[in-house]
Amino acid sequence: MSTTRPYSPGDRGPESGDGGASGTPGDGGLAVPSGGRQARRLSFDDESGVVPLARDFARQALHAWGWLPAASADRRAAAEDVLLVVSELVTNACLHAEGPDELRISCNNKVLRVEVSDRGAGQPAPRTPHRAGRPGGHGMFIVQRLCLDWGVVRTPGVTGKTVWAELGAPA
């Protein structure tokens, strides 16, 4: 489902203050429980190879939160979906904005949320009509298909946006 709502139904928006942890590529971020929610943050300042860096960072978070190693095929598929969504959102920021500024991943028992901030002015949307046989243009279509919901947050007076997507936690 495509949406431009800044937050998913029932979500009151980002937590005030820091609300998470910062991490550098070398330390893998810090897990911070916050009201049953765990969060990790990765800044891309002066980094190269941001897509594999983002995937590795997300994989480390999934290990820390018990999604990996997966005990079943369904759990493995859920973790792979998260890694694919991270790759697609970061790739979109590279291709259609000035690159990503930050990746935030948070989860509770039911939902995992991925957020990628960039300085771009564009509005992400799945290409329609979707042409499965053509190369490129599949990123937001994939995100739409794999996620419970997704959207864009813009802060008035601030350049850029945050694209977020939410996936269901494995059973």
Encode pLDDT of 144-159 as tens digits: 999 999 999 998 998 9
71 φψ region: left (φ > 0), alpha (ψ -120 to 50), beta (else): alpha
Q: How many whole angstroms separate alpha carbon 43 and alpha carbon 11?
A: 24
95, 82, 93: which is closest to 136 by C-alpha?
Answer: 95
Q: How many whole angstroms separate alpha carbon 92 and alpha carbon 100?
A: 9
Residue 112 has pLDDT above 70, yes or no: yes
Burial 20-47 (b: 16+ CB within 10 A, else e): bbbbebeebbebbeeeebbbbbbbbeee
Question: What's the whole-number average pLDDT of the chain?
Answer: 81
Residue 72 has pLDDT above 80, yes or no: yes
Q: How confident is the model at residue 26 (pLDDT cuts 50, 70, 90)?
A: very low
User: Is pTM beyond 0.95 here?
Assistant: no
Provide the percentage of residues in the chain whose pLDDT is more than 70: 75
Q: How many whole angstroms separate alpha carbon 27 and alpha carbon 29?
A: 6
What pLDDT, on a 0 to 100 scale, did the predictor assign at position 13? 45
Q: How many whole angstroms separate alpha carbon 17 and alpha carbon 19?
A: 6
Residue 77 has pLDDT above 80, yes or no: yes
Q: How confident is the model at residue 88 (pLDDT cuts 50, 70, 90)?
A: very high
